[in-house]
């Protein structure tokens, strides 16, 4: 068997979404496991919708996920160009070869004439298909149409007898009657190839051995197999992977939440977590194992274990998995990954001093086990870096205004002002003393101070928080909370 060559061939009409990323991942894993070649090809023949921005978005998404390609944009290779718009001459050459062999012809039908064909077929309850009326035009008829200003498309002469069998590596044999395929367009009137034609030429010339793609391409495959045969190209192996659905069991889209890889990146998902989760959307090795390193995925991945059934995208499971990967980072790695979020929020400088970095690291040490997304570090740690934070209204009213909140803060304000060093050893006696003096449980003492210092009733341990915030800021925040209580009581 020849060396495995697979490709991911996105259309640059938008950013890399999770469905495309999962397809790219399965191709990448298969290539890496088989010691093969992973090709990235940009199918940019949709001239009206393809953009440079989308190309950049696709490349960014691939790089973020760590799906390095062996051939393609920015890398090169022996089978380029890797943008379809740079290969237009090749498509015309093979279209002419089909015409010379009697397997393609010029069609001069106008859109209005084609619609009239379909209208008649609908009335007669026939399958909608092109009726082949231009297949046998004489040269005189062609010249007459050109004189009218008509510009032809080129259609492929499809086989209508028998059947086409797709030996799908995931689904087994898929059979299509050939009478379902009409004479389809391979070159449009502007000289640009259609998808089905360009993909066959490219995959054949790039010697792609396995075409691994979404199941939405199954209906295209009989047409492509006919083209492979007509051109004398070897037919690659096909593997059509299941769709990805949202929680409502409809096709995953923006209404379900983030779908582009770059948006997941910006929200604070780690590439290893994304790769791990995407791999499990349709593939599984062992029901007892959920977390896989890249090396394990490469070792264990196989097309035989890819499901035929649609996969449901579970945002909660992905967040959980991302939290696991965040906790596995070293503190230095966590710092490097969260610093941009804190900087963009205006909480820390882009290049902190040694003293500032020490403080940030202390904060992050407390936050690392609590967040599921890197972006969460901003709101969950805001109170460490700025006095400009809001009280959680429910927590403030429940804890500061009711019960002993005011009394506790007044007591702690006095006691903490006498503490010289804000560390666990110095602070613990203060709280024990408050418990004894006020006759309250420790939680009833801690919570009012927690709300005063952090704005909320959920935070790391109170001793760790106070040590990072420091004495001066702690006392100022208690004063702020007491002023807020006084104002609320007067309202």
Q: Report, as residue numbers or ranges, the catalytic residues.
A: 254
Contact 488, 401 (CB under 8 A): yes
CB 471 within 8 A of CB 478: no
Phi-psi label, residue 429: left if phi above 0, alpha if psi -120 to 50, beta otherwise: alpha
Asked if residue 282 lies in contact with residue 302, where contact means CB atoms within 8 angstroms, the answer is no
Q: Among candidates 256, 166, 183, which has minimal Cα distance to 217?
A: 166
What is the rounded distance in angstroms from the CA atom of residue 461 to the CA atom of residue 458?
A: 9
Residue with tokens 């396995």: 210
Round to whole Å and give the CA distance between 362 and 465: 10
CA 19-21-23 angle, to 5 degrees, is 75
Q: How far apart are CA 262 and CA 266, in angstroms?
A: 6
CB atoms within 10 A of CB 56: 13
3-state secondary structure at position 37: strand
DSSP state of 401: I
- In order, the DSSP letters of 136-152 are T--HHHHHHHHHTT---
């Amino acid at each position: 068997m020849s060396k495995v060559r697979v490709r991911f061939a996105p259309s640059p009409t938008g950013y890399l979404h999770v469905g495309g990323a999962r397809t790219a991942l399965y191709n990448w894993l298969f290539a890496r496991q088989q010691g093969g070649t992973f090709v990235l090809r940009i199918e940019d023949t949709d001239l009206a919708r393809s953009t440079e921005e989308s190309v950049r978005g696709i490349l960014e998404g691939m790089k973020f996920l760590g799906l390095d390609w062996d051939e393609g944009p920015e890398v090169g290779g022996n089978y380029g160009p890797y943008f379809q718009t740079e290969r237009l001459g090749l498509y015309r050459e093979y279209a002419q070869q089909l015409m010379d062999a009697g397997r393609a012809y010029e069609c001069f039908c106008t859109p209005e004439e084609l619609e009239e064909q379909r209208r008649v077929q609908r009335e007669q309850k026939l399958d909608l298909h092109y009726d082949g009326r231009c297949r046998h035009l004489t040269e005189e008829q062609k010249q007459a149409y050109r004189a009218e200003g008509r510009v032809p498309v080129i259609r492929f002469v499809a086989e209508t007898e028998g059947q086409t069998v797709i030996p799908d590596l995931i689904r087994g044999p898929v059979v299509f009657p050939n009478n379902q395929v009409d004479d389809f367009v391979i070159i449009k009137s502007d000289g640009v190839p259609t998808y089905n034609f360009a993909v066959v030429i490219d995959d054949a010339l790039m010697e792609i051995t396995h075409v691994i793609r979404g199941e939405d391409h199954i209906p295209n495959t009989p047409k492509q197999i006919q083209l492979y045969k007509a051109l004398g190209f070897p037919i690659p192996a096909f593997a059509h992977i299941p769709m990805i659905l949202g929680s409502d069991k409809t096709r995953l889209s923006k209404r379900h939440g983030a779908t582009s890889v770059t948006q997941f990146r910006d929200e604070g998902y780690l590439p290893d977590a994304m790769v791990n989760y995407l791999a499990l959307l349709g593939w599984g090795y062992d029901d007892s194992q959920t977390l896989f390193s890249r090396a394990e995925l490469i070792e264990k991945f196989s097309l035989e274990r890819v499901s035929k059934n649609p996969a449901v995208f579970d945002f909660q499971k992905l967040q959980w998995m991302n939290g696991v990967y965040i906790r596995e980072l070293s503190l230095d790695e966590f710092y490097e990954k969260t610093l941009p979020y804190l900087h963009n929020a205006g909480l820390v400088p882009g290049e902190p001093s040694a003293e500032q970095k020490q403080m940030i690291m202390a904060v992050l040490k407390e936050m690392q086990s609590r967040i599921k997304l890197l972006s969460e570090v901003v709101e969950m740690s805001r109170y460490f870096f700025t006095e400009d934070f809001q009280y959680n209204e429910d927590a403030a009213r429940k804890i500061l205004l009711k019960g002993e909140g005011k009394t506790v803060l007044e007591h702690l304000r006095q006691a903490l002002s006498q503490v010289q060093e804000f560390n666990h050893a110095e602070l613990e006696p203060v709280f024990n003393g408050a418990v004894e003096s006020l006759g309250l449980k420790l939680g009833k003492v801690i919570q009012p101070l927690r709300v005063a210092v952090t704005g909320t009733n959920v935070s790391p341990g109170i001793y760790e928080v106070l040590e990072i915030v420091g004495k001066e800021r702690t006392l100022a925040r208690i004063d702020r909370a007491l002023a807020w209580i006084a104002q609320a009581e007067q309202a």
